[in-house]
Every structure is written in structure tokens, then in C-alpha cells.
């Protein structure tokens, strides 16, 4: 009897031990598919993913500190981890753990979950539009060295609360080899200054036997990149325009930039290489078609360089501005929308002062240290948001930097829109893409959407 | 521990079921109750202010046209899935126990889709629908396949049904096989002697004796199709243009994309209530039809 009881206890302890060790594994890149419909926002005590807090060390600089960094740029996940390792090697008392949010997932959601479970990262990379929501949790960085070096101020209510990690821009991407061949020499993107210039260009490419354009049907491309070009080119400025839209005071159907944008979109639809089945054209398709040279141009941003290089490692590409009118004199017809899309803030609520200082050190390392700069600019293909002589190595990044240098830029519209703009307005734009709704219908649906936004 | 005394009995029970009960409580019950608590507040998930709004969130759920639209779409989806999963599962089970050659191989291969995770399944079928079927359709001129099913609202809905049926039919088939094996052979032989044809055997003997299996499979397929999210997300992502947003996806988007936790949680609770009601009713009415062998 005794032996049986003992073995029962041993077996039970083993099972409990197995269960606890399984529950405690580190979930560093898990995705949060919301199948726990009734689970609510509480992640519960089972998921202690970040574990960046709970350090009980004194304020000594040299004592070991462990910080967690949240990276929400899926394309650079691996390089970012290498960069974190390099930083740790250079600063032996700081241990860095990287949490990656895969592309297409909401970084806001991940960070909210981490806050709810009491283990927020020391440094979190969010989309620019999400930063105001974290105002009361972000450390004031206005006193940092790099604030004066930023290409443009990054303030909310006069305080710098976040480090702009990456500048990104988008427009019409062209394959240089194809365009040079068609032009019979070097193709100059600055020659396209109006809608009719673009149409002539398409006709020239077609006459040379190549397909001029392919249009991706992704909701984030149509809804968050293309359409906001109309928001940022309004005479009263983007913020006032959006406030007017929310109040229901805008008549989009008669709005100049809006109609100009749709005229260009109509042209792109007409020459779309995928126009037999527009919704089947995905981000992968447009990258493959442009990289192989089957199609000369598409509409996307400098982040697609990694997909282009997967297909064709040494291709040369550049940006043509997206025309919004037929008037060559309009400034926006020669400008590229550019902005700091990803920003990093330091948590001041749960992370200790040592951890905050370690996070500040990481940011300084990225800006001032040679290895850090090399990682940021060359290996991650990021365009830095601060004044620097470094030029990125990838062709699309170089193109963006040249537009920035000449001052031909527009604000990045997606930074001003609410979180569901991409999926909801993107869906409406997709309906316009397949002609399920006409221009008047599109205008009305957009106005209805904005009136519902709080 | 001594089972003879009352205390001893309970100590024994707790010793073995205690850890699991505790984990279940912490992981399922506590978040559930916290979620219900959250439905009375307006919160965006991160801000420190959480004003109390009473039943406003529930009022908004009832008013919300898009939520009920998603719910209706989900009900249609569930109906299609339950009928097809059980029908096809049953047919496959009959096929596989009828003694044809290689039936163990068929048994294993029909079951395999159930082992694939929903996300992988969705991406796999997305490729099939977008590229594979389209190229077959174009080469052989089959109109139905020459454009991607995922670009049309009705066809995308049926694409979802197809993928879910493919996913679960094998799983239900295994349950049906167990049920079919349990039917005593003597009864079938006796009925054959009495002159019953195959159809009479099926409707008079096999189906009534299979009711317990059907209870289980209908319950499982109901519950799984109602709560589907992973296949919805990876196959159609709610597209085209938001026409295949099933109710779980609607809850997720409300809570995490529109940053409206209170309403999202209220919607989730309404969903839970609906599914619980439907499945309880289903089990109750089916139990009445159970027949002992």
C-alpha cells in the first residue's frame, strides 16, 4: 500500500512539473489569434512572455540590467535581433530581449496585452498613429542628445515622446532597367509632372512591348497609402481636413484633390496588368512582376525592397511621384509621401529607472555608434529620421532620400488615420477597384465612415 | 489518505483534480468574469481612464448592424458546415468500414486534414484558390474556376465552407467509425433475414443507433464553426471588401482595431451566450432521440 501511494505521488508531481514548465515557455513571436472570444483583454498569469521587469537592482550603472524591446517591423526581424546582440556585446551589463510582432499584426494590440499582463517592454516600436494613446506611459525624451538632430521635430504637445525609428515613403515604383530600355537612355522620374505625362509614359511603355503597370489590391495599399494622398494635399492641411470630415462638413464628390486622385486611379485601373481579376493581385505578385521586369511599374513603398531583392538581388529601382492633377505646376505632382512610420517610446510606468536608461542607451547607440548606424542604415535598409550623411544602400531608400534632400515631400497620410481605416476604407477602395461602386458611391461611403469615427 | 471518511474522500479528489481545476479556473473562469466586468466600461485597451458606462455597450451591440450582419452570415456558414461535415463524414465512414481495399490507408488520409492547423490550412487553400484552380480554369476553359473564388462575395463564402468541411470531415469520420463498429452485427443479420434492404437497414437500424455519435459530431461541428477565426483570417481575411467577416473576426476587429474593448467584449459575450444556448438546445433535443441498442 505504501509503495503504491509513493509512486502515485511521484507520478503526480512529475505531471504537475511538466504542466508548469510547459506553461512557462517564452512566447517571443507568437501571434494573438483571438479565438478566446470570451477571454477578454486579460492575458492571465499564464503568459509571462516579456519578463522585462521585476529587476530588483540598485541604481548602480554597472549592475546588470535586462530590457525587452518590441520590434514591429516584421521584415527586419532577424537583423534586429542581431543588432540587439551586437549592442549587448558592446554593453556587457545590458541584456536585451527582442519580441517580434509579425508583419500585418497590430503592434498596438501586442503592447496593450503586455501592459495588461504587467510586463510591458522597456522600448516598444509602434505605428506613428498609436503613439498619442501611450502619452501617459511614455517617458519624456525631450532632453535627449538626438532630439536636435531629427530631420523634423517629433513632438506631441511640445514634448518629444518617441524616437522616430524609420522614415518610409511610397509612390510609383519603377524598374530602372525596363524604363531605361524604353526611354532609350536614362529615364528621368522628374519628367512626370502631371496625369497626362503619366498616361503618355504608359503608352510609350506599351508601344515598346512591355506591360506598363500592375496594381496591387491590398487594402492597406489602397486604403492607407493611396487614398490618404488626397487627405494631405488639401488646402486647409490634413488635420483640419480630417476634423471637417468627422464633422460631416466635407463634400468629397466635388473635392479637387480627391477627384484628381481618382482620375489617376482610373488610369492605373485601365493599364493594370491584372485587370482581368484585380482582387487576385497580391503584394507578392506585384513584387515578382516588377522585379523580373515583366511589368515596368507598380504602386508601393520603399519597404518592398526586400521582396524585390528576393526575386532579383541586384535590381535597380526608383520612385515616380503619384500625380494628383493634370497641372504640371502643382507641387504635389513632384513629391513623394514620406514620414516616420515606426516610432519607439520608452515605458516609464513599470520599467525601472535603470531599464529606462538602458533603453535610452540603445537609442543613442543606434544614432551615434558606428556599429549601430551600420545596422540601422545598411543592414536593416532603414532611412534614418535624423540628419546624417549616411545614404542607405538599397535603391528605393536612395530614391526616397533624394526626394527628402530636395524637399519634395508630402506628409505620410496613414499617420493621421484611425486604426480601422486600413481595413474598412481599404475594403471600400477595393469595391471601387472592381467597379462595384462608382465615384459618387465611394465618396458617400467615405463620408459615412468618417462621420462614425470618434 | 483514507477513502472511508468524508474528509478523506474529498482530500483524495482534490489531490488529483486540484491542479487541473486551478489552472482551468485561472485561465478560463477568471478572464471570463473579468471580461464581463469590462463590458460595463468604455476602454481602448491601454488608456488609464476607464469610465463606467453601464449597459451602453450592450445597447450599442444590439444597435450594431454590422455585428448582426456578421452573426447572420455566421449562422448561414454554420448551417452549411454542419450539414456538409456530418453528411460527408458519415458517407466516408460508411465507405471506410465497408471492407474495400486499402481502407486503413483511406482512413488515415481522410483524417490527416484535421491535424493541420487552421492558419496553415487557410494559406494553403488561398494559394489553391488564387493560383492553382485559376490556372486549371484558364487552361481548360472552366468558367467557374477562371477567376479566383476569393474575389467574389458568394464564392468566397463557399470557399470558407469548403475549407472547413475538408478540415473536419475526417475528424467526424473517425467518430462515426467508432459508432458504426459498435452496432451489433446480429441485429443487421436479423434484419437481413427479415428481408430488409440496404436502405431500410440504414434508416431503421444504423441511423437510430448512431444518434449518440451524431450528438457528439453535431455539437463539435456547431461549436467549431461558430467560433472560427483562424481559417477566416488566413483564407479571406474578411475579404473581399469585408464581405466574409464572420462574427469572431468582427469581435476581434472591434476590440483591437477600433480600440473599443467594451463593445468588443460585449459582442463576445453575446456570441458566447448564443453558442451556449444553441448547443445546449441541440444536445437536449438529441438526447431525447437516443435509442439503446
pLDDT of residue A51: 36
pLDDT of residue B99: 80
Q: What pLDDT band is residue A230 in, cutting at 50, 70 and 90? A: very high
Cβ separation A109–B26 shorter than 8 A: no
Q: Touching check for B48 and chain A: CB below 8 Å?
A: yes
Residue A43, domain member (yes or no) = no
CATH number of the CATH domain containing A275: 3.40.190.10
Segment B135-177, tens digit of pLDDT: 898 888 887 887 888 888 899 999 999 999 999 999 999 999 9
Q: What pLDDT band is residue A386 in, cutting at 50, 70 and 90? A: confident
Cβ separation A34–B238 shorter than 8 A: no
pLDDT of residue A416: 87
Domain of B111? 64-288
Contacts of residue A33 in chain B, CB cutoff 8 Å? 119, 229-230, 233
A243: closest CA of chain B, how far (Å): 18
Q: What sign does the CA torsion over A269, A272, A274, A275 have?
A: positive
pLDDT of residue A42: 37
pLDDT of residue A454: 67
What's the pTM value of the predicted model, to 2 decimals? 0.77
Average pLDDT of chain A is 85
Closest by Cα among A283, A345, A272 to A308: A283
Domain of A214? 169-338+407-452
Domain count, chain A: 1
* Residue in A37, A106, A280 nearest the CB of B148: A280
pLDDT of residue A61: 53
DSSP β-bridge partners for residue A97: A68
Residue A29, domain member (yes or no) = no
ipTM over 0.95: no
* Residue in A106, A136, A279 nearest the CB of B148: A279
Residue B83, domain member (yes or no) = yes
Rounded to the nearest 5°, which phi and psi values hold at A340?
A: -85, 100
Select, from the ranges A113-117, A397-401, B159-163, B249-253, the one with the highest average predicted confidence (pLDDT).
B159-163
User: What CA dihedral angle connects A173, A176, A180 and A181, to 10 degrees?
Assistant: -100
B82: closest CA of chain A, how far (Å): 19
The more confident residue out of A46 and B69 is B69
Residue B15, domain member (yes or no) = no
pLDDT of residue B8: 87
Residue B221, domain member (yes or no) = yes
Q: Where does A218-368 show beta strands of DSSP type E?
A: 295-301, 317-320, 336-346
- Comparing A102-106, A238-242, A323-327, which segment has the lowest mean pLDDT? A102-106
- Comparing A41-45, A395-399, A417-421, which segment has the lowest mean pLDDT? A41-45
Cβ separation B151–A280 shorter than 8 A: yes
pLDDT of residue A36: 33
Cell of A8: 502515485
Cβ separation B248–A39 shorter than 8 A: no
pLDDT of residue A251: 92
Residue B48, domain member (yes or no) = no
Torsion-angle region of residue A248: left (phi > 0), alpha (psi -120 to 50) or beta? left
CA A236 – CA B3 distance, rounded (Å): 81
CA B279 – CA B220 distance, rounded (Å): 9
Contacts of residue A116 in chain B, CB cutoff 8 Å? 45
CATH number of the CATH domain containing B255: 1.10.3720.10
Residue A243, domain member (yes or no) = yes
* Residue in A33, A219, A430 nearest the CB of B233: A33
Residue A84, domain member (yes or no) = no
Residue B259, domain member (yes or no) = yes
Cβ separation B265–A219 shorter than 8 A: no
Residue B242, domain member (yes or no) = yes
Chunked into runs of 10 residues, chain B (293 residues) has average pLDDT values of 75 90 94 90 81 89 90 95 95 88 89 90 89 87 82 90 94 94 90 87 88 91 91 86 90 84 91 91 82 54
Average pLDDT score over residue span A423-444: 92
Amino acid at each position: 500500500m505504501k509503495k503504491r501511494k509513493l509512486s502515485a505521488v511521484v507520478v503526480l508531481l512529475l505531471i504537475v512539473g511538466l504542466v508548469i514548465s510547459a506553461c512557462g515557455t517564452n512566447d517571443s513571436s507568437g501571434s494573438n489569434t483571438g479565438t478566446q472570444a470570451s477571454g477578454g483583454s486579460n492575458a492571465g498569469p499564464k503568459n509571462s512572455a516579456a519578463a522585462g521587469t521585476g529587476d530588483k537592482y540598485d541604481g548602480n550603472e554597472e549592475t546588470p540590467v535586462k530590457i525587452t524591446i518590441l520590434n514591429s517591423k516584421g521584415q527586419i526581424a532577424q537583423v534586429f535581433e542581431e543588432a540587439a546582440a551586437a549592442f549587448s556585446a558592446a554593453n556587457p551589463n545590458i541584456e536585451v530581449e527582442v519580441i517580434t510582432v509579425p508583419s500585418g499584426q497590430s503592434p498596438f494590440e501586442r503592447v496593450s496585452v503586455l501592459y495588461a499582463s504587467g510586463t510591458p517592454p522597456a522600448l516598444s516600436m509602434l505605428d506613428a498613429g498609436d503613439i498619442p494613446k501611450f502619452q501617459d506611459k511614455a517617458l519624456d525624451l525631450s532632453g535627449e542628445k538626438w532630439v536636435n538632430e531629427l530631420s523634423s521635430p517629433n513632438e506631441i504637445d511640445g514634448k518629444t515622446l518617441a524616437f522616430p525609428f524609420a522614415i518610409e515613403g511610397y509612390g510609383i515604383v519603377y524598374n530602372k532597367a525596363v524604363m531605361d530600355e524604353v526611354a532609350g537612355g536614362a529615364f528621368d522620374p522628374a519628367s512626370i509632372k502631371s496625369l497626362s505625362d503619366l498616361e503618355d509614359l504608359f503608352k510609350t511603355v506599351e508601344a515598346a512591348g512591355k506591360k506598363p503597370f500592375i496594381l496591387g489590391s491590398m487594402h492597406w495599399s489602397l486604403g492607407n497609402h493611396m487614398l490618404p494622398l488626397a487627405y494631405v494635399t488639401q488646402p486647409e492641411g490634413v488635420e483640419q481636413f480630417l476634423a471637417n470630415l468627422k464633422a460631416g462638413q466635407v463634400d468629397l464628390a466635388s473635392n479637387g484633390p480627391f477627384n484628381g486622385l481618382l482620375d489617376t486611379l482610373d488610369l492605373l485601373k485601365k493599364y493594370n496588368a491584372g485587370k482581368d481579376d484585380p482582387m487576385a493581385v497580391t503584394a507578392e505578385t506585384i513584387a515578382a512582376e516588377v522585379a523580373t521586369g515583366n511589368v515596368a511599374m507598380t504602386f508601393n513603398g520603399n519597404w518592398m525592397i526586400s521582396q524585390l531583392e528576393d526575386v532579383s538581388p541586384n535590381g535597380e529601382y526608383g520612385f515616380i511621384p503619384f500625380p494628383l492633377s493634370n497641372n504640371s505646376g502643382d507641387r504635389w505632382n513632384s513629391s513623394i509621401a514620406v514620414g516616420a512610420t515606426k516610432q519607439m517610446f520608452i515605458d516609464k510606468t513599470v520599467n525601472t529607472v535603470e531599464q529606462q536608461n538602458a533603453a535610452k542607451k540603445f537609442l543613442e547607440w543606434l544614432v551615434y555608434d558606428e556599429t549601430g548606424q551600420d545596422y540601422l542604415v545598411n543592414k536593416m535598409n532603414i532611412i534614418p529620421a535624423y540628419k546624417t550623411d549616411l545614404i542607405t544602400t538599397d535603391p528605393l531608400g536612395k530614391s526616397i532620400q533624394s526626394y527628402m534632400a530636395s524637399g519634395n515631400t508630402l506628409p505620410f497620410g496613414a499617420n493621421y488615420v484611425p486604426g480601422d481605416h486600413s481595413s474598412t476604407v481599404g475594403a471600400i477602395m477595393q469595391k471601387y477597384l472592381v467597379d462595384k461602386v462608382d465615384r459618387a458611391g465611394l465618396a458617400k461611403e467615405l463620408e459615412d465612415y468618417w462621420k462614425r469615427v470618434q | 489518505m483514507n477513502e472511508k471518511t468524508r474528509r478523506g474522500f474529498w482530500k483524495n479528489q482534490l489531490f488529483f483534480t486540484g491542479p487541473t481545476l486551478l489552472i482551468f479556473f485561472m485561465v478560463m473562469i477568471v478572464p471570463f468574469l473579468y471580461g464581463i466586468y469590462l463590458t460595463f466600461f468604455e476602454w481602448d485597451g491601454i488608456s488609464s481612464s476607464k469610465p463606467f458606462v453601464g449597459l451602453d455597450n450592450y445597447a450599442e451591440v444590439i444597435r450594431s448592424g454590422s455585428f448582426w450582419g456578421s452573426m447572420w452570415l455566421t449562422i448561414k456558414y454554420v448551417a452549411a458546415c454542419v450539414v456538409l461535415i456530418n453528411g460527408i463524414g458519415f458517407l466516408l465512414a460508411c465507405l471506410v468500414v465497408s471492407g474495400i481495399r486499402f481502407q486503413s490507408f483511406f482512413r488515415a488520409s481522410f483524417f490527416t486534414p484535421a491535424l493541420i492547423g487552421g492558419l496553415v490550412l487557410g494559406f494553403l487553400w488561398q494559394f489553391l484558390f488564387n493560383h492553382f484552380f485559376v490556372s486549371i480554369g484558364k487552361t481548360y476553359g472552366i468558367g467557374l474556376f477562371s477567376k479566383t473564388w476569393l474575389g467574389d462575395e458568394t464564392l468566397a463564402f463557399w470557399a470558407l465552407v469548403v475549407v472547413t468541411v475538408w478540415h473536419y470531415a475526417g475528424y467526424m469520420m473517425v467518430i462515426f467509425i467508432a459508432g458504426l463498429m459498435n452496432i451489433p452485427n446480429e441485429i443487421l443479420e436479423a434484419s437481413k433475414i427479415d428481408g430488409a434492404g440496404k436502405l431500410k437497414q440504414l434508416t431503421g437500424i444504423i441511423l437510430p443507433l448512431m444518434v449518440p455519435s451524431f450528438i457528439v459530431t453535431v455539437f463539435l461541428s456547431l461549436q467549431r464553426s461558430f467560433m472560427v477565426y483562424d481559417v477566416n483570417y488566413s483564407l479571406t481575411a474578411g475579404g473581399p471588401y469585408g464581405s466574409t467577416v464572420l462574427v469572431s473576426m468582427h469581435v476581434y476587429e472591434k476590440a483591437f482595431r477600433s480600440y473599443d474593448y467594451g463593445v468588443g467584449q460585449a459582442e463576445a459575450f453575446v456570441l458566447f451566450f448564443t453558442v451556449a444556448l444553441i448547443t445546449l438546445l441541440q444536445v437536449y433535443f438529441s438526447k431525447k432521440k437516443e435509442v439503446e441498442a
